[in-house]
A and B are shown apart, each in its own frame.
Chain A
Amino acid sequence: MSDHELRVSKIRDGTVLDHLPGGSALNVLAMLDIDGSEGTGVSVAMNVPSERLGTKDVVKVEERELSQAEVDVLSLIAPRATVNIVREYAVREKKQAERPESVRGVLACPNSSCITNAEEPVQTRFDVLEDGVRCGYCEEIIREGIADHLDVA
């Protein structure tokens, strides 16, 4: 995107999440537990033109550098996400979302009879498959619409 098309100004320090699927930004923020309550800047651009994706979302989170583990969780809903760590207005580090082996506490199991949906002190765990995720307790497999099952407040 050229400078005259910039919808959101550059950030000084933080993380820029690019190449998120169009319309996924709010889910991405929810997965990262970012709701603006910490008082730091969060910018969201949704459904902007993208050569690679057609449309994409971009999220800029100021004063927070995402870890590789946090980035990897995003791969469930944004497999082509690119993540730039910015310091003093310059990109200092690039990260690629890679599929993790499993994710904890991120998704709710769609099986209403799963033990994780009872009043038990247990965090959900999903093993990540090539084309979906599988509940580590009841074995339920989710292939489509993973974002619909985000377990976020």
Chain B
Amino acid sequence: MMRQDHLVAAGQLSRADVERVLDRAAEFDAALSAGGGEALPARYPETVLALCFYEPSTRTKMSFETAMKRLGGQVVDMGGVDASSVSKGESLADTVRVVEGYADGVVLRHPREGAAKMAAEFVDAPVINAGDGAGQHPSQTLLDLYTIREAAGLDDLTIGIVGDLKYGRTVHSLATALTEFDAHMHFVSPESLRLPRSVRFDLHEAGAELREHTEIDDVLPDLDVLYVTRIQRERFPDEDEYQKVAGEFQIDAETLAAAKEDLTVMHPLPRVDEIDPDIDDTDHASYFEQAHNGVPVRMALLDLLFQNHE
């Protein structure tokens, strides 16, 4: 059972919570694969989910929408910030209180860290953090964990997390959640994009060992999973430095020659040039499957949150 009505950070999730979501997701996954119908009865025909996205999104927004609809529910979408009262200066606190009057749950993406946590303090309806600035993205973590469990298992796992570890919210949530499992984590990034102090603190508190590298080759042969993230160009002080680092972390079939045969390569997407398309057709590539898993996992998350909230 989830311990709280809201999901704002991965640190809220115990191992039992994660397993409960993933087990339920597996049931939904099977039902979806069976084509729905009787295998997937409309569980929430009266339920409306609000999507409040203050930043662009493709996968997260569409998979939440699909998940709610697959559960028999409906969705209301705030639309772009420019088309809403946000452009008139409405506060987030006011917006979520208004939206709560229309919907039974709120999925929120916002450019500021801590936005979902604050929003959750203003409403009773479940709030799901769909990304808060460079903070957290816990529902992405659940689908990442689902993908990892399917591909490699969550215990006795050696994972390399590569790219923008400083601002990458998927990384922050994933690393925190993996401390609940027997996972050996290697963090590969340029010096300037190492994990932030808050995540390092959480990992330390959880007793996780922090293994940091600047070269993928140092750890690649040991990895079961390689989790690649986009290095965010806009964060770099100068273009030359970005180009140098972007080149360093481009992974192609040649890079993976030293990897285990059954290495799983993941990416929360969108990618720019971190993963060469020549990997797409190899058995290593799991990023599109990872994206597909967003639907059953978010169905499971919504199901458990709504059940818990009844």
Contacts and interface: CB of A to CB of B under 8 A. Distances in A.
Interface of A: 111, 113-122, 129, 134-141
Most-contacted residue by chain B among A116, A120, A121 (CB, 10 A): A120
A20 B277 CA distance: 62
B198 A137 contact: no
B133 interface: yes
Contact of A139 (B113, B115, B118): B113
A138 B116 CA distance: 10
A126 to B, nearest CB: 12
A116 to B, nearest CB: 7
Contact of A138 (B93, B113, B201): B113
| Majority secondary structure of chain B interface residues (helix, strand, loop or mixed) | mixed
Given A121-B93, A134-B198, A139-B198, A113 B133 contact: yes
14 contacts: A113-B133, A114-B113, A115-B92, A115-B112, A115-B114, A115-B118, A118-B112, A120-B93, A121-B93, A136-B114, A138-B112, A139-B198, A141-B198, A141-B201
Contact of B115 (A111, A115, A134, A136): A115
A137 B118 CA distance: 7
Contacts of B110: 115
A141 B197 contact: yes
Contacts, number: 62
A135 B132 CA distance: 15
Interface in B101-148: 110-115, 117-118, 121, 132-135
Contact of B118 (A111, A122, A140): A122
Contacts of B133: 113, 138
B197 A120 contact: no
Contacts of A137: 113-114, 117-118
A115 B113 contact: yes
A116 B132 CA distance: 13
A136 B134 CA distance: 15
Interface centre among B110, B114, B117, B135 (most CB of A within 10 A): B114
Given A111-B113, A138-B114, A120 B135 contact: no
Nearest to B201: A141
Contacts of A140: 113, 197-198
A120 B118 contact: yes
Contacts of A118: 91-92, 112
Interface in B254-310: none
Instruction: Give 6 nearest A-B pairs by CB, closest first.
Output: A137-B114, A138-B113, A138-B114, A115-B114, A139-B198, A115-B112
A134 B113 CA distance: 13
Contacts of A115: 92, 110, 112-115, 117-118, 132
B132 to A, nearest CB: 8
Given A120-B118, A138-B135, A139-B198, A113 B112 contact: yes
